[in-house]
Amino acid sequence: MVSTLLTAAFALSAAVAWGSGDFTGGLVSRRIGAFHSILITYSVGLVVLVLAAWIRREQLPPSADLIWGALAGLAGMAGLGFLFRGFAAGRMGIVAPVSAVLGTSIPVIFTALSVGLPRELQLFGFGLAVISIWLLSRPERLTGRPAGLGWALLAGLGFGIFFTALDQVGKSTVFWPLAAGRLASCAAMVAFALFTRRPLIPPQAPFGWLTLAGVLDIAGNFFFLLAIQGGRLDIAAVLGSLYPAVTAILARLIAREHMTRLQVTGLATAVLAIIFITL
């Protein structure tokens, strides 16, 4: 019970950090594009992680942990890139939840096959969480296919692989596997920029907002890694994937995006899901 509550607390902290970071990064990506938003955000994160590992005097983990961390980082980078492209093409309150549905399904299926099913109440909570995410993604009136839906599905695939790969990291270290992911991602993006001859730093980049987005994203990864090191991947992934609720709330409060009655119902359903998952 204590382990479940601690896992839930860390996973929900990750959701708050990710949702806030996605909102911040999504706003910036509309100005300078998804590629430069992620490159600068990840570069900030890499510096923060290396400094944290050095201050903590954390020992380098086995090479397998660094490889899994790098794979998770590349998958997360791809997912975030598709997410920001979706934000630029459509509404945050639709793109983020749809990506979270698929991103949640992959680790839940993986955990069911490798560890076994959770308790009945938790399974019911999982179902409520998926319903809440879907409600958050549905406008009251839908005419045709929502803009950015294809990008949202690709983002969900990347996030699902990110969750599952990060779960393979051992419990001996925290910061170095995350730093390996950031290093691999930054190296891939720099190589792509050089190959396509695009500038590494765009003119008039809002570094303050990008730094904030980078710190929030790293905080989300840190809390999620703590969650899966102390508990089940499926519980952490489901609760961590409630980040669209945070994105939708911020989009409503700051960007003045309209929140439909279905989305409000989705928020209430998410609260019920958290209760059942942590019982």
| Residue in 182, 139, 167 with CA at minimum distance from that of residue 190 | 182
**Token output for 221:** 């990864």
Sign of the torsion formed by the C-alpha atoms of 111, 138, 33 and 49: negative
CB-based contacts of 2: which residues, under 8 Å, 6+ apart? none
Identity of residue 165 = A
Closest Cα to residue 225, out of 9, 1, 6, 11?
11
pLDDT of the residue at 92: 62
Which pTM was predicted? 0.83
Q: Which are the contacts of 189, defined by CB distance < 8 A and separation ≥ 6?
A: 35, 38, 39, 42, 77
Angle between helices 261-278 and 2-32 (to 10 degrees): 150
- State the burial class of residue 168 (Cβ atoms within 10 Å of its Cβ: 0-12, 13-18, 19+): middle
| Token code pair at residue 207 | 């570094």
Mean pLDDT by 10 residues, the chain (279 residues): 80 90 79 83 92 91 93 91 75 70 84 84 84 67 60 88 91 90 94 89 84 90 90 86 78 72 80 78
Percentages helix, strand, coil for the chain (3-state, rounded to 5) are 80, 0, 20
Q: Following CA atoms 242, 85, 144, 93 in sequence, which dihedral angle do they give, to the nearest 10 degrees?
A: 30
Residue 260 has phi, psi (to 5 degrees) of -75, 170
Whether the CB-CB separation of 138 and 260 falls below 8 Å is answered with: yes
Cα(165)–Cα(223) distance, rounded to whole angstroms?
16
pLDDT of residue 114: 86
For residue 141, what pLDDT is reported? 52
